[in-house]
Structure 1
Amino acid sequence: MAFARLPLTMTGVTLTLYVVSNLGHGYGAAGVVGAASTLGTALGAPLVGRNIDRYGLRPVVAACGTTSTVFWFAVPHLSYPVLVACALPAGVLTVPAGSLARQILAALVPPEQRRAAYSLDTILVEATFMIGPAAGIAAITSLSATVALSGIGLIFGITALLTYLLNPPIRNEDEQAPAGTGRPPLRTWLSGPLAATLLVAAGALFCLIGTEVATLAALRSHGDVSWTGLVIVVMCAASIVGGIAHGAVRRAPPQSVLMLLLAVLVIPVGLADRPWWLLMLALIPTNLLCAPTIAATTETVSSLAPPAVRGEAMGLQDASTRLGLAAGSPVVGFAIDHSSPAWGFAAAGFGGLLLAAIGLLWTRRRTPAAPALAAGVRAHR
C-alpha cells in the first residue's frame, strides 16, 4: 500500500509541470486542473469506501485501477479543456490507497496494537512524500511528459492489480456481519465525536499545507530557494521520528491535544524565518507532531465507526483531509500576499485551530452515539 500511494504523491507536481511547460498555460491554469482532481478525490472517497463496504475490495479496486491507468496514459494526448473536464471524474475514481490501507490494517491488527500500526503507516506516507515528488520532477524533466505521465498510470495499474490478486481482508472474522443484518443508518454512526474528529483532521491538514506554503515563501523571499529540498527532508524526518515515538508509547495524547500542539507550535515560526537553517530548526517541533496527529485521527475514526461502514468512514477521513489541504493553500497564500511569509505561519496555525475549535464545540453539542453503537455491535457478535 505504500507503493500504491507513490503515484498519488507524484501527480501534483507532474500535472503542474505538464500544463505549464508542455501545454503552455500558466500556473493558475495548472491550479485549476489540480483543484478539479482534488475535489473529485474528496467527493469520491466516501462513495468509493461505501462501495467497498457493500461489494468488497476486488470489484472497486478493479474499476478504480482501470480508470486511473487509462486516465494517466491518456493525459499526454489531451488538450487543456479536455484535461480539465476529465480531471474531476478521474479524481472521483482514484484508487483509494490511503483509506484502503487503513481499512486493511484495522482488519489485520488487534485494537490494542493499532496505534503502532497506524503510526507505521503514517511513517511510510512520509517516506513516499520524500520520494514521489522528486521522482516525478526528475522523470518529467529528464525524460518526457509522455513517459512520466504514462509511468504514473503504469504504477497505478500495477498496484491495483497486486491489490486485486492479494485481496487482503477489509474486516476480520469477528467483524463479519450476521446474515440479514442491514447497513447501519448514517445518522446512527456519523455522530458528534466522529464529525469532530473529521473537522480536527481537516484543521491539521490545513495547518500542514499552510506551513509548507509559508516555508517556501520564506525561503524564496530571502533568496534561499536552493535549500528547499533539505528543509523539506528535515521536516519529513522530524515527522517520522514523531511517528516512531507515537507508535512506541503505551499511552499517547488524544488527537485533539496533538492537533492543538501542532498548531500552537507553528504560529511563532515566522519569528525565526531567517537564515534558512534557523527556520529549519524552528520547524522541527511542529513537524514532530505531524505523523502522530494523523495516526491518532485514524485510530479515533476506526474506533468510532462500526466495522460495517469502516470503508465509508475512512473515505470521509480522506475527504476531510483533502478539503483541509484545498483550503489551507489559498488562505495562507492570501495572508502571505497581503503581509509577509512570517504571517503565513501564523495564518496556518490559527486557521487550523479554528477548524479544530469548531469540531470540539460540535462534540459538546452532540450525543456520542457512535461509541455506544460500536460497543453494542461488538457485544452482539
Structure 2
Amino acid sequence: MDLAPFKHVLMLPGVRPLALLMFFARMPPAATGVVLTLHVAVTLDRGYAAAGLVGAAGTIGMGLGAPLMGRLIDERGLRSMLALSVTASAAFWLTAPLLGYWALLVCSFGVGLLGVPMMSIGRQVITALVPQSRRRVAMSVDSISVELSFMVGPALGVFAATKFSTNAALLSIGGSILVAGVLLYWANPPMVHEDEVVGGPKPRIFEWLRGRIVGVLVVCAGATVCLAGMEVSAIASLEHIGKQSWLGVVFFAMCAASIVGGLVYGGVKRAPSVLVLLVLMALLEIPVGLGDGNVLLLCLLLVPMNLMCAPLIAASGEHISRLAPSTARGLALGLQGSAFTVGNAIGAPIAGAAIDRAGAPAGFVVAGAAGLVVAGIAGGLARKPVADRVTMAP
C-alpha cells in the first residue's frame, strides 16, 4: 500500500480546504437519525415505532430529493440549489422543537426532499477538483471523510441530546447546517472539472442512464442492503446478551475497518471492481453471526466485511462520475444517493424479519445472501455488447 497518492491529491489546489469543509458539513446530517429518534421517542414520549415512522418519512424524502437537488445543480449551479436547500433545512431544524408529532412527521419528509445532499455534493466537488487519472484516490479520501463524519456526528448528537436536551440537539443541527451551507455558498467550488467539455447539446437521460451505470447503481443498493442488515443484526446481538452499552465500541470498529479499507483501496495500483467488492462484502457478512454473544469476537468478525465499505463507496462514485456526462453528474450522483437509500430501506426490514424468527445470526446470513442476489442482478445489467461497454473495474 502506497500512501503517496493521497498526499499528491491533497496537495492539489482547493482539495484540502474543501475536504475539511465537507467533513464538518456532513456531521450534522449524520446525527439527524439518532437525534430525531430520541426526540420523538423520549421528549415527545411517542415511542420508538412512531420515531421510526418519522425516520422513514425523512428517508423516503431523501431518496426522492437527492436526484432533484442534483439536477438543480446541473441546471442552475450550486448556489441556486443551496439557496433553496439550506433555507428549507435550517427552517425545519430550527423550528423542530416547536412542532408536534404529526407536523414533525410531515415536515421530516419535506426536509428530506429539499434538504442539502451533503454526501453527493462532496463527491461532485472532489470530482471537479481532481483530474480523472487521480479520481480513485480522491474518492477514497472522500469516503474516508464520510466514515469520520459518521464516527463523530452521531456521538456529538447523542451527547447534546442527553447532556442538555433533544431540543438543544435539534437547534445545534439546524445552526450547523446553516453555517456549513453559508460557507459552501461563499466558497462556491466548481462542480465540473476544467478539462471537461460542458458546451453543446445536453444528452437525454436515457442516453446514458442504462447498462453499466445502472449496474453500478444496483451495486450501491446492494452495499447498503448488506450494511443496514449488519447494523440491525449487530444491535440485536448486543441486546440479546444485555450489552447495548458496547454498541459504540462495535460501531467504532466498523468505521475504523472501513477507513483502513479506504486507505488500502486508494493506495494499491490495481483495485478490484465494484462487483467484486460487493460480493466480498456479502460473503464476509454471512459468518459474522458466529460472534453472537461475544462482543470481542463480534467486533473481529465485523472487520473483514467493513474493510470493503469505503472502497465500494469510492469505486462506485468514481465509476458514476466517469460514466455519466459531466452536464448530468449532479443528477447521477443524486441517483447514487437514492440507490443507497433504497438499499437501506430493504436491508433493515429483511434482516429484522430474520432476527425475529431465528435470532441475530440469521440477520447476518439473510443480509449477506441478499447482497449476493443483488450482485447477480448488477452483473446481469452490466452485460452489454462489446461496442457499448465501459468497464466496471477501475
What interval of TM-score do these two structures reach, taking the shorter chain for normalisation?
over 0.9
Unpaired segments ≥5 residues, structure 1: 373-381
Residue identity opposite 1:343 in structure 2: A
Match of 2:136 in 1: 115
CA–CA distance in 2 between the matches of 1:141 and 1:225? Answer: 16
Q: Note the C-alpha offset of 1:371.
A: 4.5
Residue identity opposite 1:205 in structure 2: T
CA contact (8 A) 1:103 1:170 kept: yes
Match of 2:69 in 1: 48
1:135–1:293 Cα change, 3 Å = same
Structure 1 residue 199 corresponds to structure 2 residue 218: yes
CA contact (8 A) 1:58 1:167 kept: yes
Q: Which has the larger displacement, 362-371 or 258-267?
A: 362-371
Cα distance per residue 1:204-239 (max 9 Å; x no partner): 011011111111111111222222211111111111
CA contact (8 A) 1:189 1:370 kept: no
List aligned pairs for 1:134-145, cutoff 5 A: 134-145=155-166
1:125 to 136, 146, 166: 146
Match of 1:148 in 2: 169
CA contact (8 A) 1:199 1:320 kept: yes
CA contact (8 A) 2:289 2:365 kept: yes
CA contact (8 A) 1:65 1:94 kept: yes
Q: Give the superposed CA RMSD.
A: 1.4
List aligned pairs for 1:157-176, cutoff 5 A: 157-176=178-197
Match of 1:84 in 2: 105
1:368–1:185 Cα change, 3 Å = farther
Q: Note the C-alpha offset of 1:128.
A: 0.9
Q: Note the C-alpha offset of 1:165.
A: 0.3
Match of 1:276 in 2: 295
Q: Note the C-alpha offset of 1:310.
A: 0.4
List aligned pairs for 1:1-381, cutoff 5 A: 1-178=22-199, 181-364=200-383, 369=388, 371=390
Residue identity opposite 1:304 in structure 2: L
CA–CA distance in 1 between the matches of 2:385 and 2:114? Answer: 33
Q: Note the C-alpha offset of 1:22.
A: 1.3
Instruction: Give the SS at the match of 1:173.
Output: coil
Report the TM-score when normalising by structure 1.
Answer: 0.94
CA contact (8 A) 2:281 2:306 kept: yes
Residue identity opposite 1:159 in structure 2: A
Residue identity opposite 1:4 in structure 2: A
CA contact (8 A) 2:131 2:193 kept: no
Unpaired segments ≥5 residues, structure 2: 1-21
CA–CA distance in 1 between the matches of 2:387 and 2:150? Answer: 35
Report the TM-score when normalising by structure 2.
Answer: 0.91
Cα distance per residue 1:7-32 (max 9 Å; x no partner): 11110000000001111101111111
CA contact (8 A) 1:192 1:366 kept: no
Residue identity opposite 2:135 in structure 1: R
CA–CA distance in 2 between the matches of 1:368 and 1:210? Answer: 38
Question: Percent of pairs identical after alignment?
Answer: 47
CA–CA distance in 1 between the matches of 2:172 and 2:293? Answer: 39
Residue identity opposite 2:65 in structure 1: G
CA contact (8 A) 2:39 2:167 kept: no
Instruction: Give the SS at the match of 2:235.
Output: helix
Instruction: Give the SS at the match of 2:195.
Output: helix
Q: Note the C-alpha offset of 1:182.
A: 2.5
Q: Note the C-alpha offset of 1:86.
A: 1.2
CA–CA distance in 1 between the matches of 2:26 and 2:203? Answer: 30
Number of positions where the alignment pairs a residue of Structure 1 with one of Structure 2: 370
1:228–1:371 Cα change, 3 Å = same
Q: Which has the larger displacement, 119-128 or 363-372?
A: 363-372
Q: Note the C-alpha offset of 1:353.
A: 1.5
CA contact (8 A) 2:240 2:293 kept: no
